[in-house]
C-alpha cells in the first residue's frame, strides 16, 4: 500500500514536470502547456525587445548600436548574416545629426504672403532722400518731420501736414498702413512710382521723397491748400454762389493736361478721376493727385475692373459685357461727371441704394446731359458741348485726350487771362472765416 502511494506521488510529481508514467513499462512525453493568450505573448515579446533596445542605447552613449536579437521579428526568426564582407556588420554606430536651432522671432514660419511682406518691409530703409528742388536733396528720417495734424483720410491710411525741420519745408505726407494686402501693396508701389516720374508736369502734385517706418510707407508730396470737392461744396452750400465758367475752364485744362501727360509720357491711366483728387492752392495752381490705383496700359487696354470710385465709373467699367476692356476714354467719362458735378453743385445721378440700381442707371439708362441753364447757372454752348461729349455712353464714340485738347472750350480757356489765384484765395479766406476746414477727410 505504501509502495503504491509512493508510486502515485512520483507519478503526480512527474506529471507536473511534463510527463506521465503509466505502469512501469511505457512513458509518454508532452510539451509544457501555455495557457496565455496571444496578446499577452506579443506584449511580453515587445517589452523584451524594448528592454534590449534600451540596453543598446546605454552601451553606445550618443551613438546607436543594434544587436541581432533586437532585429528579430515577431516570430523570433533569426536575422540573416551579412551577404558579403564589404557590407558593414552590426552593430553599426549611426552618425550624430546636427541640432537645428528652433526658429525664433522674425525667423519663424509664416505663410508666403506674410513672409514676402516681411521681406519687403525689412529691405526698405527708414532713411530716405528728400528732393525739394532739382538741386536741393536731403537725407531724412521720420525724426526730421514734425507732425502738424491730419488733413486727409482714405482707404489706405491718412494724409498729415508735416514740416521738414532742417529746410523748414511744409509738405503733405501720405502714410500707408503696413496691413494692406498684396493687391493694395501693388497699388501703393504704383502710386510711388508714378509720382516719382511725374515731377516734370506742372499739373501733377510734386513728389519730394519717401521713407519706410516700421513697415509703413511715408510718401512726401507738395502741400496744396484744398481739394475741389470741399471747394465747390462750400461755394454752393455756404456762399450760395456758382463757380464762374472761366474758373471751370482752367480746372478742365489742368486736368486734361495732367491725364494726357500720364498717358503719353508714362503710359498710365488714372482710373480715379473725381473732385477729391483735384487739388488747388492760393497761388492759382490746379493739380491732379492720387495715382494709387493707376495701371500700366497693355496694348492701350487695361483689364482691371475692380478699381476706382464707382459713382464716377464709365458704363464699360461697371458692365464687363459691354467691352473686353477699357482705356483712357473711361477717364474721359469720369472727367465729364466731375465737371458736371462741380458746375451744377450736385452729383448728376440720384443716390444709389444698391449696386443693382447703379448698374441699371449707368449701364441701361441714358447718360447725364448738361443744359445751358442748370441750377441757376448759365453755361456757354462750348462748355455744354464739351461736357456732353465726355459723357457719350458708347465708348468707341467718346473722344480721347488729343481730340479734347482741340475742342473750342479748351482752346479758349487755355488762352483766357484769369486771376485764378485771387479767386481761390478769396474762397479759402471765406472758409477760414466760417470755420470750415479746407481739407478732405473721410472720403469714400
Q: What is the CATH number of the domain that holds 139?
A: 3.30.200.20
Which of 171, 190, 222 marks a domain boundary?
A: 222
**6 lies in a domain?**
no
| Structural element, H or E, at residue 136 | strand 136-140
Work out whether strand 169-176 and strand 216-222 pair parallel, antiparallel, or are unpaired.
Answer: antiparallel
138 and 265 in a single domain? The answer is no
204 and 260 in a single domain? The answer is no
Q: What is the pLDDT of residue 320?
A: 66
**405 lies in a domain?**
yes
247 and 347 in a single domain? The answer is yes
217 and 241 in a single domain? The answer is no
Task: Using the Cα atoms of residue 232, residue 234, residue 240 and residue 244 in order, give the sign of their dihedral.
Answer: negative
Residues paired with residue 146 on neighbouring β-strands, in sequence order: 163
Active site residue 272: yes
330 and 204 in a single domain? The answer is no
Which of 198, 222, 246 marks a domain boundary?
A: 222
**68 lies in a domain?**
no
239 and 137 in a single domain? The answer is no
**Which of 113-117, 238-242, 302-306, 387-391 bottoms out in mean pLDDT, i.e. has the lowest?**
302-306
403 and 420 in a single domain? The answer is yes
Q: Catalytic residue, from 144, 191, 229, 272: name it.
A: 272
**Domains held by the chain: number:** 2
Highest mean pLDDT among 288-302, 311-325, 413-427: 413-427
**418 lies in a domain?**
yes
424 and 348 in a single domain? The answer is yes
**359 lies in a domain?**
yes
**Looking at per-residue confidence, does 198 or 427 come out higher?**
427
294 and 374 in a single domain? The answer is yes
244 and 206 in a single domain? The answer is no
Task: Report the b/e string of 121-143 with b at 16+ CB within 10 A.
Answer: eeeeeeebebbbeeeeebebebe
Tell me the whole-structure pTM to 2 decimals. 0.66
141 and 269 in a single domain? The answer is no
Tell me if 174 is assigned to a ligand binding site.
Answer: yes
User: How many angstroms separate the CA atoms of 389 and 373, rounded?
Assistant: 17
Which of 183, 204, 222 marks a domain boundary?
A: 222
Question: Shortest CA distance to 317 belongs to which of 300, 298, 303, 335?
Answer: 303
**283 lies in a domain?**
yes
Instruction: Tell me the average pLDDT across 207-218.
Output: 80
Structural domain boundaries enclosing 307:
226-433
Q: What is the pLDDT of residue 422?
A: 97
Please report, rounded to a whole number, the percentage of residues in the chain having pLDDT higher than 70: 59
Task: Using the Cα atoms of residue 46, residue 50, residue 56 and residue 57 in order, give the sign of their dihedral.
Answer: positive
User: How many angstroms separate the CA atoms of 243 and 247, rounded?
Assistant: 7
Amino acid at each position: 500500500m505504501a509502495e503504491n502511494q509512493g508510486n502515485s506521488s512520483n507519478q503526480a510529481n512527474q506529471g507536473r514536470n511534463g510527463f506521465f508514467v503509466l505502469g512501469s513499462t511505457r512513458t509518454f512525453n508532452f510539451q509544457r502547456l501555455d495557457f496565455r493568450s496571444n496578446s499577452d505573448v506579443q506584449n511580453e515579446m515587445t517589452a523584451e525587445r524594448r528592454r534590449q533596445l534600451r540596453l543598446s542605447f546605454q552601451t553606445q552613449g550618443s551613438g546607436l548600436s543594434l544587436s541581432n536579437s533586437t532585429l528579430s521579428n515577431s516570430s523570433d526568426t533569426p536575422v540573416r548574416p551579412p551577404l558579403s564582407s564589404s557590407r558593414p556588420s552590426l552593430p553599426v554606430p549611426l552618425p550624430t545629426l546636427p541640432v537645428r536651432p528652433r526658429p525664433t522671432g522674425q525667423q519663424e514660419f509664416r505663410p508666403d504672403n506674410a513672409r514676402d511682406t516681411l521681406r519687403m518691409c525689412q529691405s526698405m530703409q527708414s532713411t530716405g532722400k528728400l528732393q525739394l528742388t532739382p538741386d536741393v536733396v536731403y537725407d531724412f528720417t521720420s525724426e526730421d518731420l514734425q507732425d502738424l495734424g491730419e488733413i486727409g483720410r482714405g482707404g489706405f491710411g491718412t494724409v498729415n501736414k508735416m514740416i521738414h525741420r532742417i529746410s523748414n519745408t511744409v509738405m503733405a505726407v501720405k502714410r500707408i498702413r503696413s496691413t494692406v494686402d498684396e493687391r493694395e501693396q501693388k497699388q501703393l508701389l504704383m502710386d510711388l512710382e508714378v509720382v516719382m516720374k511725374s515731377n516734370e508736369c506742372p499739373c501733377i502734385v510734386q513728389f519730394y521723397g519717401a521713407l519706410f517706418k516700421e513697415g509703413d510707407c511715408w510718401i512726401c508730396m507738395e502741400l496744396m491748400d484744398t481739394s475741389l470737392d470741399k471747394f465747390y461744396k462750400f461755394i454752393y452750400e455756404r456762399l450760395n454762389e456758382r463757380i464762374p465758367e472761366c474758373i471751370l475752364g482752367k480746372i478742365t485744362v489742368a486736368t486734361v493736361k495732367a491725364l494726357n501727360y500720364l498717358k503719353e509720357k508714362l503710359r498710365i491711366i488714372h482710373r480715379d478721376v473725381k473732385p477729391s483728387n483735384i487739388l488747388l492752392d492760393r497761388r492759382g495752381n490746379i493739380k491732379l493727385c492720387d495715382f494709387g490705383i493707376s495701371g500700366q496700359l497693355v496694348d492701350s487696354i487695361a483689364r482691371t475692373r475692380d478699381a476706382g470710385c464707382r459713382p464716377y465709373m464709365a458704363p464699360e467699367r461697371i458692365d464687363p459685357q459691354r467691352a473686353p476692356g477699357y482705356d483712357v476714354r473711361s477717364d474721359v467719362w469720369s472727367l465729364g461727371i466731375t465737371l458736371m458735378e462741380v458746375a451744377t453743385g450736385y452729383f448728376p445721378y440720384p443716390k444709389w441704394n444698391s449696386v443693382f440700381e447703379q448698374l441699371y442707371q449707368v449701364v441701361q439708362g441714358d447718360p447725364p446731359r448738361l443744359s445751358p441753364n442748370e441750377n441757376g447757372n448759365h453755361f456757354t454752348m462750348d462748355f455744354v458741348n464739351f461736357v456732353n461729349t465726355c459723357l457719350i455712353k458708347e465708348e468707341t464714340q467718346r473722344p480721347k485726350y488729343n481730340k479734347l485738347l482741340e475742342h473750342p472750350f479748351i482752346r479758349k480757356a487755355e488762352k483766357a487771362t484769369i486771376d485764378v489765384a485771387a479767386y481761390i484765395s478769396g474762397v479759402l479766406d471765406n472758409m477760414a472765416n466760417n470755420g470750415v476746414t479746407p481739407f478732405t477727410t473721410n472720403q469714400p
